[in-house]
Structure 1
């Protein structure tokens, strides 16, 4: 596991701690092996900012990019006893063919003090597109629960703006207007009009593949939050990608057990509901999910992935001052995840008839 060392003026660190909700970056130095970088450092996340082990956002200043990235995230994964659900989920999406940030565990030190095991995540931005040799196009983050593709917010009140819940990561203001058009057509077109026009705006097959992955991992928030939209510059179609998947594989975002049947096979949000109204989209989703359940979402496939992840963590667990996870805990958590996969897979297979 790589060692990351951050050096920061204590006054700057105090500035971060004085206002944990401040998103402005403060200057610091990041050292990785023999390489040293000038960076901007800030806390990131929502619930995690209140925890003793916080997550960080890093922007590279000098050099401006490192290994093709201008920005990275260091996630504490504090509420996940396995420290691995996020990576396990994003790797799962990547395996299936859904654009997904790559990640790796690192050991973080701050001014010489060990802060423990963190998950380094790619930022989903234009630099990721360049690294993957993907067509450039706008990227919009779903930053809160109002990003539900509906005219109503989660409190069932009319939205004041159709772009509520969204933030431009890369692009221009007009790109939000294009997204508003997608939301408007999802909520106002007749069935005949929607069926005819949606494939001109959305990569439906890609969306249904993403949906199948969210349903398998059971990210309760994943349908109205924890995603980004990328408008492919060549096709002009929206594609969707996952983000923040620690509340998965049988636990919620607080780390508490979540029943294997908590999320229905059809998921939920307005766009999904409209798509699954049509038999040929339903059939495509059925076939995609069937293939995933047979080949990817199995105890045999995921067991090896979990073993590999946990083996990288076990030697460094004792160095993390903020967690109580032990080697025995990880072994128990593997059994927990395997049990969840078995039950979740059986549940989904039992409800396949809803898709025919």
Structure 2
């Protein structure tokens, strides 16, 4: 039996006036000076709120940039996610670990306990940033990284936000790393996805996209049932050596049977076919549809079942248990019920996917 994971305690210190300003103007993205103490080592940092709708929640999520020392464990920045709407506090980590297990490059993450100016702020998920250091740590070649920041990151010529023709094919993306000329490569990719004839698409899409990685990413969305994962909650990377694009997951707390508001989501809510233009075109092609079907079958057999997932869930719960009562934003009674709800979701989703594999024939 695995031992509980040690949850580190982070001490964040912010000038009270700065902290007051941060809470008063939640849409201000200007970073504030602060210090973060981790295992008795002090770091001078720039601190800002992170996220979109999550800024409105009482428990804030933070973006941390290190400047003295300039790095922490080899990274320049981290994200501290409050996981406010997830009653279990583990869905995001469970998802990102699952993506890694099925062959998708995924951010490292771990739970921490955060104190802000010596007061308990609660359990957070520390997330690795998807940036140049992310690529270097995995031995991936250099290349631009684009964050999908809204529904316009749908691989389409049409906006998912206002349902009109896009004025720019980079709408929905923010370039996290790379050069301005890298935008042209992203535009070219999206244009080709939308304009190639079917016979051209089958023969030539592998010149633009790492197809196996994308189909595994698609499978990850389908198993975890992240409704937003097709047009949001991902980072898009282009390998400069091969020219191929690859997708990395990001922000996967609305999963395993819960939506972005923490409400119950039926196990059959997200179709096995997914959506967005790139997915539709790949699954319209016999060869790639069969490849996707085989990936789903293998994951059902190897990773998406109770014997594989239950020990991971139980270990996270055992590790977090001593800190739940110290989290001022958590309902312990509700938290205790969540593992069974996740187990029930796994069983229901397994049944749904297993019985719908035939539509990929």
Say yes or no: TM over 0.5. yes
Per the TM alignment, residue 312 of structure 1 is displaced from its structure 2 partner at its CA by 1.1
Counterpart residue number, 1:231: 238
The CA deviation string for residues 99-126 of structure 1, in whole angstroms up to 9 with x for no partner, is 1001111110111111011000000100
Match of 2:44 among 23, 29, 38: 38
CA distance in 1, matches of 2:69, 2:152: 37
Bigger drift between 215-224 and 9-18 goes to 9-18
The answer to whether the 8 Å contact 1:310/1:330 transfers is: no
1:76 has 2:76 as partner: no
Q: Note the 1:103-252 alignment, pairs <5 A.
A: 103-154=109-160, 155-252=162-259
Structure 1 residue 234 displacement after superposition: 2.4
Q: Which residue is equivalent to 1:304?
A: 311
1:232 is displaced (CA, Å) by 1.6
Q: Tell me, what secondary structure is at the counterpart of 2:9? A: strand
Show structure 2 runs of 5+ residues with no match.
Answer: 1-6
Number of residue pairs aligned between Structure 1 and Structure 2: 354
TM-score by length of 2: 0.96
Q: Does 1:353 align with 2:323?
A: no
CA deviation digits over 1:221-275, x for unaligned, max 9?
A: 0000000111123222111010000000001011000011111101100000001
Partner of 2:95: 89
Q: Distance in 2 between matches of 1:152 and 1:98?
A: 28
1:341 equivalent in alignment to 2:346: yes
Alpha-carbon distance, 1:219 to partner = 0.2
Structure 2: how far apart are the matches of 1:199 and 1:33? 46
Aligned to 1:262: 269
Q: Secondary structure at the match of 1:54?
A: coil
CA contact (8 A) 1:57 1:74 kept: yes
Aligned to 2:4: none
- For 1:20, the equivalent position in structure 2 comes to 26
Q: CA offset at residue 305 of structure 1?
A: 0.6
Partner Cα separation in structure 2 for residue 344 and residue 320 of structure 1: 31
Match of residue 64 from structure 1 = 70
Partner of 2:320: 313
Give the deviation of 1:329 after TM superposition: 3.3
CA-to-aligned-CA distance 1:288-307 (integer Å, 9 cap, x gap): 01000111011111101100
Cα distance in 2 for partners of 1:330, 1:311 equals 12
Q: Is the 8 A contact 1:108 1:116 kept in 2?
A: yes
Contiguous gaps of at least 5 residues in structure 1: none
Shift of residue 287 of structure 1? Answer: 0.4
Q: Secondary structure, in 3 states, of the residue corresponding to 1:152?
A: coil
SS of the counterpart of 1:141?
strand
Q: C-alpha separation between the residues in 1 aligned to 2:9 and 2:33? A: 20
Q: Which deviations, in whole Å up to 9, do the C-alpha atoms of 1:74-104 show, x marking residues without a partner?
A: 0000000000100000000011110100111
